[in-house]
Amino acid sequence: MSQTFSICVYCGSRDGVLPAYAEAAEALGQAIAAQGWRLVYGAGDIGLMGRVARAAQAGGGQTFGVIPQHLFEREVGKRDLTSFIVTETMHERKKVMFMNADAIVVLPGGAGSLDEFFEALTWAQLGLHAKPILLLDVEGYWAPLNALVRHVVDQGFADASLHDFVRTVQDVPQLIGQLLAARAAR
């Protein structure tokens, strides 16, 4: 873990259909900077990724971006970050992001965000980390995911403790409160 409290944000490389998604990404970036924390993210300059990073930068926050070479053009790799790393593979990207973070926040996103979320959740379930994992449930975006996790438990494919590894929050102020509590507890 880093000296500066670092928040790994998994989110979409698109804005999605609701303006609330973009608003939440910008509010999160602003809040991370206001707390003096560091943003760790996928280094893209498009979609929610770009919004959270630009907002953190505008607030004077530290930014740590990690992008694989094959996505550099597609996600418009943002080079004006405090720290910027180009990896060879997606696996390396996820590892570098995870290892440089004290907490995981998941904003709305697609398959890549789900992949990142489930890897962090699986590692927590296996006892490989105790980092908080928080879903920012903008406009109920993560309700189907929470229902799926309940279904997995109800059908006997995971212990009920699986629910304990993830916290769902409704807005950025609630999210920051959870992160402050997690930081105080470490």
Please count the structural domains in the chain. Answer: 1
What pLDDT, in 10s, does the model give residues 142-164? 999 999 999 999 999 999 999 99
Residue 1 included in any domain = no
Domain containing 171 equals 6-180
Model pLDDT, residue 185: 87
Residue 186 included in any domain = no
List CB contacts of 79: < 8 A, sequence separation 6 or more: none
Model pLDDT, residue 69: 86
Integer angstrom CA distances of residue 9 from 93, 100, 164: 13, 11, 20
Residue 171 included in any domain = yes
Say which CATH number the domain at 135 has: 3.40.50.450
Quote helix, strand, coil % in the chain, to nearest 5.
50, 20, 30
Residue 185 included in any domain = no
Model pLDDT, residue 19: 98
The tens place of each residue's pLDDT in the chain, 186 residues long, gives 447 999 999 999 999 999 999 999 999 999 999 999 999 999 989 999 999 999 999 999 999 999 888 877 666 677 888 888 999 999 999 999 999 999 999 999 999 999 999 999 999 999 999 999 999 999 999 999 999 999 999 999 999 999 999 999 999 999 999 999 999 987
Model pLDDT, residue 33: 98
Residue 63 included in any domain = yes
* Tokens standing for residue 186: 């470490």
Model pLDDT, residue 2: 47
This prediction's pTM: 0.94
